Amino acid sequence: MKYFLKLSLENKLPITIIYLSASGSFSKRKILIRKMTNEKIIAYCYLRKEIRTFSLKNVLSAGMDPSLKAI
């Protein structure tokens, strides 16, 4: 999972995450990571169309965005 987070940050590629919100609901998000610390991810969220902060411990999975096509 951390591989894809780092890949998004370094190569400015969108990824898809499964996220557990503070209220306990699951959410699938397409994000573009802008900054990452040991605890938080600051990313552009394509669903909300704004910069959002995600708790790293609540990211359950991460992977390449399936809409990206290999060259």
Low-confidence ranges of the chain (pLDDT < 70): 67-71
Q: What is the pLDDT of residue 60?
A: 96
Q: What is the pLDDT of residue 22?
A: 85
State how far the Cα of 71 lies from the Cα of 50, in Å rounded to an integer. 28
What domains are there in the chain, each with its CATH number? Answer: 2-64 (2.30.30.100)
Percent of the chain with pLDDT over 70: 92
Q: What is the pLDDT of residue 2?
A: 86
pTM of the predicted model as reported, rounded to 2 decimal places: 0.86
Instruction: Name which of 53, 62, 16 is nearest 35 in CA terms.
Output: 53
Q: What is the pLDDT of residue 16?
A: 95
Instruction: Name which of 3, 17, 6 is nearest 46 in CA terms.
Output: 17
